């Protein structure tokens, strides 16, 4: 069962400038940064709040590290802005299978490793009213600190 909005992914051209905008404008601070070589992005997670299920909600700022990455291609076509929405779940495998059984295309056969050691998969935007949707099972808390 999906339990929360885990994060909203925002594609940007310059991660440092975008982080500074969210810090100066809204007071959001960086909780975690990393480079995901497989996905070709440099990212910053800005924690918005804690949630009742022990998780949190974040803004995920994504700067492509190469033009041929999924975010790089998306940014070239669409410009900066909301890239995807991610829902938190305790069981990404089970929820992905249940959603697949409802006719929605799941983009990965097996979940992959995402931000902060999470397990993730994506749902096809054409099956989700134009919204690229991610399912996320967070890593245990001791693995998610900076």
Run means of pLDDT, 10 residues per run, the chain, 146 residues: 93 98 96 95 94 83 97 97 96 97 96 94 97 94 53
**pLDDT the model gives residue 58:** 95
Inside any domain, residue 67:
yes
Q: Which residues are catalytic?
A: 7, 43, 60, 84, 134
Inside any domain, residue 100:
no
What CATH number is attached to the domain comprising 8?
3.10.180.10
In b/e form, how buried is each residue of 20-50, taking b as 16+ CB within 10 angstroms?
eebeeeeebeebbeeebeebbbbbbbbebee
What domain count does the chain have?
Answer: 1
Look up the pTM and report it. 0.90
**pLDDT the model gives residue 140:** 80
Inside any domain, residue 99:
no
State the residue range of the domain holding 35: 2-90
pLDDT digits (tens, 9 = 90+) for 62-83: 999 999 999 999 999 999 999 9
Inside any domain, residue 140:
no
Q: Which of 119, 96, 118, 98 is nearest to 109 (CA)?
A: 96
Tokens found for residue 66: 């190469």
Inside any domain, residue 26:
yes
Inside any domain, residue 65:
yes
At 144, phi and psi to the nearest 5?
-100, -5
Task: Categorise residue 49: left if φ over 0, alpha if ψ from -120 to 50, beta otherwise.
Answer: beta
Taking residue 64's Cβ as centre, other Cβ atoms within 10 Å add up to 22
Inside any domain, residue 142:
no
**pLDDT the model gives residue 112:** 95
The DSSP H or E segment spanning 58 is: strand 56-64
Inside any domain, residue 110:
no
Tokens found for residue 42: 């440099």
**pLDDT the model gives residue 144:** 46
**pLDDT the model gives residue 142:** 57
- Report d(CA 72, CA 49) in Å as an integer: 28
């Amino acid at each position: 069962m999906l339990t929360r909005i885990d994060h909203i992914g925002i594609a940007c051209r310059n991660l440092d400038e975008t982080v500074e905008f969210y810090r100066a404008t809204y007071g959001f601070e960086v909780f975690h940064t990393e480079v995901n070589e497989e996905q070709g992005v440099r990212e910053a997670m800005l924690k918005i709040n804690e949630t009742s299920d022990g998780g949190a909600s974040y803004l995920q700022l994504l700067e492509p590290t190469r033009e041929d990455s999924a975010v790089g291609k998306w940014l070239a076509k669409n410009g900066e802005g909301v890239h995807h929405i991610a829902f938190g779940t305790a069981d990404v495998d089970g929820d992905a299978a249940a959603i697949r059984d409802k006719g929605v295309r799941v983009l990965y056969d097996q979940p992959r490793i995402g931000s902060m050691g999470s397990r993730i998969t994506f749902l096809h935007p054409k099956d989700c009213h134009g919204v690229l949707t991610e399912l996320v099972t967070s890593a245990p808390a001791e693995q998610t600190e900076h």
